[in-house]
A and B are shown apart, each in its own frame.
Chain A
Amino acid sequence: MSYSMWIILTASLVGLSCGLIGVFLILRKQAMMADGISHTVLLGIVLAYMVTQEVSGPAMLIGGIFAGILTAFLVQTLSSLKVRHDASLGIVFTSLFAIGVILISTSVGNVHLDVKHALMGEITFIPFTTMDIPLIGSIPKATALLLLVLLVVIFFIVAFYKEWKITSFDAALAASLGIPVIFFHYLFMTLVSVTTVASFDAVGAILVVAMLITPAAAAYLWTDKLIVMLFLSGGFGVLSAIIGYWIATWLDTSISGSMALATGCIFFVTFLLSPKHGLISRLVRPAELREEQEA
C-alpha cells in the first residue's frame, strides 16, 4: 500500500473510533471530560515509558487507561467534596498534564517523546514504523494499535448497547433497575482513554478533542435516532480525515490541523443545512409550524 494510503487509513481509523465514542460523550454531557483525558493520558504514557523504557503500544494503552481512570476518579472525588464539577475537571487535568510535561523534560526527554509531538501529533511519520502481522503482512504500528482499539470500542458499544443508552438517558432509572451505573461510567472513561492513547500518535492530544466532539455534535443535529447518530458520527470522522488529508496536501500544511479544520467545516455545514435543527430550515419553516413548536 502506498505511503499516503497508510496515512489516510490511519486517520480514518482515528475518525471512526473517535466518532463512535464521541456520540456518548455528547449524550452523557461529558465533552469536557474528553478534553481533560486527552491531556492527562500524556502522564500515563510518560509513566509507561519510565517503567518499560520503550515506546510500545500495549504499555502506552495501560498507562493511558490508568491516567484516564485516575482523572475520572479525582474529578469525581473533588466534586463530591463541594468543588464545582467544571472547576474540578480544570484543576485535575491541568495538574496531571503539568506533571507529565515536567517528567518529559526532566527525566525522559528523548526523540520519541516530546511535548510538541504530544500536542500536535505527527501522522506523516507513521508509515515508517511498521510491524509484521501474520496473514496481513507489514503494517504501521500505530495503525495496528488503532485497529485493535476500534475493534474493542465496537465490541463494547454493541455488547452493552442498551446499557449505554439507558445510563446516558436516565441514570436514576438505570440504577433503580439494578444496572451498575458507576461501573459503566468508569468503563466509558476507559474507552475514552484507550481511544485517545491510540489516536495520540496520529493527531496529538489537542486534535483528538476535535475528532471526539465535533463529528458527534454534527451527527446529533442530523438525526433523532441513536443508532443513526453512531453511523453518521463515525462517517463524519472518516470524511474529515479524508478531506483533511486533501486540504493538507493542497495547502502543504499540517495534516492533523487540516483534519480538525475539516471537522469544523462539516459541523458548520450541518449547522446551516440540517433538516430539523439547521439555521436555514428554521428560517424557511412556515410561521404557523414554528409557533406550534415553540408553544
Chain B
Amino acid sequence: MVSSVINVDDLSASYQKNKVLNDVGFEVKEGTITAIVGPNGAGKSTLIKTMLGLHPKLTGKVSFWGSSFKTAKKKIGYVPQRGSVDWDFPTDALDVVTMGLYGKIGWFRIPSKKDKEKAMNALKKMGMEAYAHRQISQLSGGQQQRVFLARALAQDAELYFMDEPLAGVDASTEKAIMTILKELKSNGKTVLVVHHDLQTVPEYFDHVLFLNKTVYAYGETEEVFTKDNIATTYGGDMQWVGKGDQYVIQSTSH
C-alpha cells in the first residue's frame, strides 16, 4: 500500500478579490510525478503557492504526510518560476544553489565547506559545474533553469514543487531536467510540476491534474488524459489542430 504524501481538501484562494481557486481537493501518492495542467489563469501557480503557505488561503486544508506544512517544510523543495527573480542580482551559480541549503544551515551561521560541496555536486548533476562561478545574468535561460533545479536537488527534499521548469528552455535542458525527474521518482521522491505543454504529458508524467479554478480530473495519465477531460478543462479557450492521434492544442489566449 502506497501512502499518500499530500492531502488537499476544499482549498480555495483569491487573488485581488477574484476567486482563482475553488473547492480544490486531491490526494497525491508517494513516488509519483504529477503534471498540473490547465489554461492561462487557471490558478496553477497559485495552487502551489497556496499549498506552500506563500499565498493566503480562504478555506480548506492542506497536509503533508498527515501533518502541517510547518512541520513538513524541511522535506519539501520548491522551484519558483524562472521569471520570478532578478537575474541581475550580484551572485554566481554556485551561490544560488547554496541558497537551497539556507533553511538547514540555521541562524547566525555561514555556509560551510561541506555545504558548498553539496551545492557543487547538485550543479554537477545538472551538467553545470563548469558554470559554477559564472555570474547568473551571464547564463542562458536553460542554464538558469538548471541552476534552479540544482538548488532544489541540493535541498535533498522528499517532495518537490516545480513551477513551469520546462518553459522556454532548450531541448538539451528539457532532456536533462526530465532525466533528473525520473531519477527522483526512482528514488521514491514525489514531484508536482506545473506544465504548459500538453503534447509531452503522456511521455513525461505518470499522473495528471486538470485544473481550471477547480479540479476537473486527477489520476493516472493513462486513464484521465483524454480528449474529453482536456476539452472540458480548457473550455472554449483552445483550438484543435488535428494530427492523427496526437494532441496538438493551442491556447487562443496567448
* B99 and A165 contacting across the interface, CB-CB below 8 Å: yes
| A contact residues around B108 at 8 Å (CB) | 159
Shortest Cβ gap from A167 to chain B (Å): 10
Check A137 for interface membership: any CB of B closer than 8 A.
no
* A169 and B16 contacting across the interface, CB-CB below 8 Å: no
Tell me the B103-141 residues at the A interface (CB within 8 Å).
103, 105, 108, 110-111, 135, 137
Shortest Cβ gap from B158 to chain A (Å): 14
* A226 and B105 contacting across the interface, CB-CB below 8 Å: no
Shortest Cβ gap from B74 to chain A (Å): 8
A163 closest partner in B (C-beta): B102
* A162 and B110 contacting across the interface, CB-CB below 8 Å: yes
Shortest Cβ gap from A212 to chain B (Å): 18
From B33-41, B48-56, B199-207, give the one contacting chain A.
B48-56
* B99 and A224 contacting across the interface, CB-CB below 8 Å: no
Shortest Cβ gap from A55 to chain B (Å): 36
Shortest Cβ gap from A27 to chain B (Å): 6
Shortest Cβ gap from A81 to chain B (Å): 10
Tell me the B28-65 residues at the A interface (CB within 8 Å).
49, 52-54
B103 closest partner in A (C-beta): A177
- Within 8 Å by CB of B90, from A161, A173, A224, lies A224
A176/B54 contact (C-beta < 8 A), A165-B99, A220-B90, A224-B90 known:
yes
Interface residues of B toward A: which range?
A: 20 to 34
Report how many residues on chain A are interfacial, defined by Cβ distance under 8 Å: 27
Known: A162-B105, A172-B54, A173-B151. 16 other contacts (CB 8 A): A27-B89, A82-B17, A162-B102, A162-B110, A163-B102, A166-B102, A169-B96, A170-B85, A172-B49, A175-B53, A176-B52, A176-B76, A178-B73, A224-B92, A224-B137, A226-B90
Check A225 for interface membership: any CB of B closer than 8 A.
yes
A161/B49 contact (C-beta < 8 A), A172-B78, A173-B78, A175-B54 known:
no
Shortest Cβ gap from B73 to chain A (Å): 5
B151 closest partner in A (C-beta): A173
Per the bound structure, the CA–CA distance linking A229 and B90 in Å amounts to 8
A23 closest partner in B (C-beta): B90
Shortest Cβ gap from A207 to chain B (Å): 26
Interface residues of B (CB under 8 A from A): 16-17, 49, 52-54, 70, 73-74, 76, 78, 80, 84-86, 89-92, 95-96, 99-100, 102-103, 105, 108, 110-111, 135, 137, 151
Check A254 for interface membership: any CB of B closer than 8 A.
no
| A contact residues around B84 at 8 Å (CB) | 170, 172
Per the bound structure, the CA–CA distance linking A177 and B84 in Å amounts to 16
Per the bound structure, the CA–CA distance linking A165 and B135 in Å amounts to 15
Check A179 for interface membership: any CB of B closer than 8 A.
yes
Tell me the A121-143 residues at the B interface (CB within 8 Å).
none
A176 closest partner in B (C-beta): B78
A175 closest partner in B (C-beta): B54
